[in-house]
Structure 1
Amino acid sequence: MAAVWASFCLLVSLAALSPHRAHGSTWGSLFGSKHGAAAAPTIGICASSVVVYGYPCQEFDVTTQDGYVLSVQRIPEGRGKGSSGGSGGGIKKPPVLIQHGVLVDGVTWLLNSPDRNLPLILADNGFDVWIANTRGTRFSRRHTSMDPRDPKFWNWSWDELVAFDLPAVFDFVYGKAGQKINYVGHSLVRINIFDL
């Protein structure tokens, strides 16, 4: 048990220290110098962790019912023409939504090499991959009217993630994919999904 706890502490320490430098995010790029809603990070997850490996990737903003602007990434297909389930022939690929765990964001799914990270493996195997980032994470630190420097911006709990963030992302992905969504997540939000 002590080894598991030590590994977890090391992972949290590394995640807290290195990602901000590795992806060029700074206080100014996240919050901007103007008052009002914060600007998006200058380098998104697609540019920093997906297209560098030759995969197509799209960045989307999804606004929740209570005004939080969530960053969602889509990897619509695998790398190269050899990926299974290619886009040819009008075949709709099964969508899979990947949700990060507590204290991290969606980029944590992409830290390994392409042959060892779940989103790219799924894309190479014919899935339409979507990566969610909940409110307050580095890539979802925006609101339609509140500034993250305002304490009111942070006045939410895990309940709002289930009540607002997940439904907004599910609705958005379903609207684009038009079919049942497969869901992969860990440690942050546990939900019972009967038929998305």
Structure 2
Amino acid sequence: MKLIGLMYLLSFCSYLSATPINGTDQISMLIEKRMWTNWNQSNIELNPDSTIDTPEMIRKSGYSAESHVVMTEDGYLLTLHRIPGGNDSLPVLLQHGLLGSSADWLVLGKDKAFAYLLADQGYDVWLANFRGNIYSRAHVSLSPSNPTFWDFSFHEMGIYDLPAMITFITNMRSQPLHTYIGHSMGTTSFFIMASERPKISKMVQMMVALAPAVLIKHMQSPVQYLNLIRSEIKVKLYVMIIPPNPV
């Protein structure tokens, strides 16, 4: 199991309660709030956005929201969120970093979050979700409970995920992607795509790299230590997610 997939799986097992909640699912919402009440011993005020998903966050801030599902060449189903612009608007794709999601570009709220600022300037804003995160945890044949589902890294994100999303946007808009804006792992994957899938990169007119990550051997983040014990983590997670054979 590769490191990036391993980290997403670790996040999946540790934070199941963080899965986006459908507004119609009242039982799930009650469970979420009950869990927060039990954990919140200091009476910290609950952020109302913590129990809604990305499209709901967008609509709550006064914008239109769309969701689109895109299939990669290797069968992963990725969710693209969108704040649609006008007919003449320029499409911009925002790509999150490690263990992030489309919500990363919205959490600062209206008048502050980057996605909203772009929408206010008239851009057609697309918010990507890499395989394995809470919005892209599906596959045409593999279940997230299957370790094979998590056997990926930023390499697969670069050769499969980004090409699928960029091709979808350019086909839908019948024009090149005006700007790709990536953060951290979102830049790493773009560099991989530019190297391995140059025809796709030519569909992008401009790329903006925020906190670009290229060489990981000099990494100072605590994430580096997971790589040292990934075999041990893999064994433990395998036991957690694979049910025992029936007797």
TM-score (norm 1): 0.71
Identical counterparts, % of pairs? 36
Residue type of the alignment partner of 1:100: H
Give the counterpart of 1:69 among 77, 84, 97. Answer: 77
Distance in 1, Cα, partners of 2:76 & 2:155: 14
Aligned to 1:161: 157
Contact 1:44–1:59, Cα closer than 8 Å, also in 2: no
Higher helix share: 2
Residue deviations 1:145-184 (CA, integer Å, cap 9, x gap)? 1100110111112110001000000000101112221100
Distance in 1, Cα, partners of 2:169 & 2:17: 26
Two-structure CA RMSD over aligned residues (Å)? 2.6
Residue type of the alignment partner of 1:187: S
Q: State the 1:24 CA deviation.
A: 2.9
Q: Give structure 2 stretches of 5+ with no counterpart.
A: 1-10, 29-50, 195-200, 205-247
Contact 1:63–1:70, Cα closer than 8 Å, also in 2: yes
Residue deviations 1:47-94 (CA, integer Å, cap 9, x gap)? 2x10011100100100001000001011013xxxxxxxxx3xxx5210
1:58 and 2:56 equivalent?
A: no
Distance in 1, Cα, partners of 2:16 & 2:116: 22
Residue deviations 1:13-72 (CA, integer Å, cap 9, x gap)? 9xx869817x4389xx8xxxxxxxxxxxx964102x100111001001000010000010
Contact 1:44–1:139, Cα closer than 8 Å, also in 2: no
Distance in 1, Cα, partners of 2:146 & 2:16: 26
Residue type of the alignment partner of 1:62: V
Aligned to 2:175: 179
Give the structure with higher Rg (CA).
2
1:188 and 2:185 equivalent?
A: yes
Give the counterpart of 2:21 among 24, 33, 47. Answer: 24
TM-score (norm 2): 0.57
